[in-house]
Structure 1
Amino acid sequence: MSTDSRLLGRGPRWLRRASFRHLLTVTLALVAGTIVLGVAAKATGSGLACQANWPQCDTGPFNLFPASLPSFYEWIHRFVAMFAGFAILGSGAVAWLSSSVDRRVAPLVLVGTVLTPVQVYLGRETVFEYEMAILSLHFWTAILIFSLFAVATVLAWKGSLSRRGMKAGLFTALATLPAHIALSPTDLGVVSSYTPTVQLLQYAVTLALILSVILVSMTGRWWFESRMLAVVLGAVGVLTLGVAYLGRRSVMAFSPMLDSMYIGSAVLLAVALVATLRLTSALEPEGEIKGSV
């Protein structure tokens, strides 16, 4: 069943031509932007810059606008998060109400929608209860929402994806790994100081890695019937989680053991991605991907 049905039958032409998969794509981009801006706010120490006001800031009409550069970081994070929240709720409403949304896509979108109020509450608590446990939970809930919408978006575009898209995902994942390590505060990092800009770039690379691995893992199973490839792709998924988790932990704890585990996971992930590339180059595809989800 196609998710490419029109969202609205009336209104401007561009809106009439919009489809659910386009809505998912925009929502995914907004969620990614919210995460990156949240990292920027934390890295610059701007989380409390709005005078502990939430959801307002510290100046302007109705106390809505920022008064300084630090409060701007927090304000723009909340501003983009607001639009991301509206997009998530809109996607959830379409998934719930439209019979044309595939049964594999709708649950992912609905879970992400249910998690959104939880994420909003956690964002509020980072202002009033600035504790590391709350900050971590806020971050990983955002990553979970991002991953749910990434899977849903890839499913929605299924009929338009080709083997070339899978190869692009593989090369993107392989390119992000050395960039991720280079931007890390480990001994192998090339940065002399883990500045807010470096942190923002590294987390942007993390999102690119997660998205590309999701694309590769899903399209690999669609295009090829191979037990060995399925095992390798499973390892790729687990190792990606390890790189994302240990990369964040090594930033927070600065432990030589965590650094070693992080580098080891990244090396193993690179090996698994190369193995995926070799396997998919040797295997014959099972046929065309039929229909969009």
Structure 2
Amino acid sequence: MSSDSHTRPIYRSLVDRFGFPHLLTTTLVLVAATILLGVAAKATGSGLACEANWPQCDAGPFNLFPANLPSFYEWIHRFVAMFAGFAIVGSALAAWRLEDVDDRVASLVILGMILTPIQVYLGGQTVLQYQMEILSLHFWTAILIFAMFVIATVLVWRGSFSVRTITGAFVVGLLTLPAHVALSPTEFGVVTDYSPTVQLLQYGVTLTLIGAVIVATMVTRWHAGSRLLSGLTYGTTGLALAVAYFGRQVVMNFSMTIDRLYLVLTGVLALAFVVAIAVSRRQSGGR
């Protein structure tokens, strides 16, 4: 997007040094890390360790000397979230000021910046109130921000993708499903103790699944001419979001109906991935 002559050199020098695509990729990594650390903090009850103190915890300014291990986890989460916030703001300002940044990228990143203070507020409320509704809203807002930055990052790296990327993304998505089921607290789950480590791994798999279907969908629009493949990408995206949603519901609710619905959706998604892999390989000539 356009910029004035006074601010352009500042942003241009930063982007020339680090590269806007790399800045955006780093921001995406920080957003993902913030989400996973937030999951770890919730799983360990670290927010409660701060005794409803926010943004500080239990050790003065910046919580430089946490009183115990749980408060340390919460501090790490807030610390990384702070850097993620700075990166989001920096990416948004750069996207707004630099004239060679795609308007779609700028819009996504700026919207992510607008959502960030809302997410920060919700994060504070999870400590001050710790209600399930607030926790869920906090989580899904984070997923929305993550998805927007995945889309923006794929857009800026568009020239690096090919038809084979579609197959690779579908393969990654397919590989996440057994892990997602195994790490879920269902009757078919491998784990018997839904520990903080298991939760962290499961949500890491969830982010990977969401990222994979976004990449597959976007690259298919650019490089695939098959209506069947396009339909499969949209279908897998919808199913992946449903699996992510019901996978979380499995954790939040002890319901056999939800467990079975989650497993059925996962099975359908796995089948869709297999078909999509075959179709995309055929389109790319089996390479």
Native 8 Å contact 1:21 1:156 kept in 2: yes
State the secondary structure of the residue aligned to 2:184. Answer: coil
Q: How big is each residue's C-alpha offset from its partner over 1:130-175, in whole Å with a ceiling of 9 and x where there is no partner?
A: 1110010000000000000001001110011223333222211111
Report what 2:4 is aligned to: none
CA distance in 2, matches of 1:158, 1:55: 38
Report what 1:109 is aligned to: 109
Per the TM alignment, residue 100 of structure 1 is displaced from its structure 2 partner at its CA by 1.1
Q: List gaps (5 residues or longer) in structure 1.
A: 286-293
Native 8 Å contact 1:7 1:20 kept in 2: no
Report whether the alignment pairs 1:68 with 2:68.
yes
Q: How big is each residue's C-alpha offset from its partner over 1:57-113, in whole Å with a ceiling of 9 and x where there is no partner?
A: 211556544110011111100000000000001111112222111012111111111
Report what 1:224 is aligned to: 224
Aligned length: 279
CA distance in 1, matches of 2:197, 2:88: 28
CA distance in 2, matches of 1:167, 1:82: 36
More helix by share: 2
Amino acid at match of 1:81: A
Give TM-score scaled by structure 1 length: 0.90
Report what 1:155 is aligned to: 155
Q: How big is each residue's C-alpha offset from its partner over 1:2-42, in whole Å with a ceiling of 9 and x where there is no partner?
A: xxx9985547xxx7431111111000000000000000011
CA distance in 1, matches of 2:280, 2:10: 37
Report what 2:258 is aligned to: 258
4+ aligned runs moved over 4 Å, structure 1: 5-11, 60-64
Native 8 Å contact 1:6 1:19 kept in 2: no
Amino acid at match of 2:105: V
Report what 2:202 is aligned to: 202
State the secondary structure of the residue aligned to 2:47. Answer: coil
Give TM-score scaled by structure 2 length: 0.92
Per the TM alignment, residue 210 of structure 1 is displaced from its structure 2 partner at its CA by 0.7
Native 8 Å contact 2:246 2:258 kept in 1: yes
Per the TM alignment, residue 283 of structure 1 is displaced from its structure 2 partner at its CA by 2.2
State the secondary structure of the residue aligned to 1:104. Answer: helix
State the secondary structure of the residue aligned to 2:188. Answer: coil
Map 1:174-213; keep pairs closer than 5 Å.
174-213=174-213
Report what 2:145 is aligned to: 145
Amino acid at match of 1:87: A
Report what 2:123 is aligned to: 123
Native 8 Å contact 1:95 1:109 kept in 2: yes
Native 8 Å contact 1:35 1:142 kept in 2: yes
Native 8 Å contact 2:167 2:281 kept in 1: no
CA distance in 2, matches of 1:150, 1:219: 13
Native 8 Å contact 1:46 1:71 kept in 2: yes
Task: Evaluate the alpha carbon distance shift between residue 62 and residue 83 of structure 1 in structure 2; reply closer, same or farther with a 3 A threshold.
Answer: closer
Report whether the alignment pairs 1:172 with 2:148.
no
Report whether the alignment pairs 1:17 with 2:17.
yes
Per the TM alignment, residue 226 of structure 1 is displaced from its structure 2 partner at its CA by 1.6
Report what 2:41 is aligned to: 41
Amino acid at match of 1:281: R
Map 1:45-56; keep pairs closer than 5 Å.
45-56=45-56
CA distance in 2, matches of 1:43, 1:68: 16
Map 1:85-104; keep pairs closer than 5 Å.
85-104=85-104
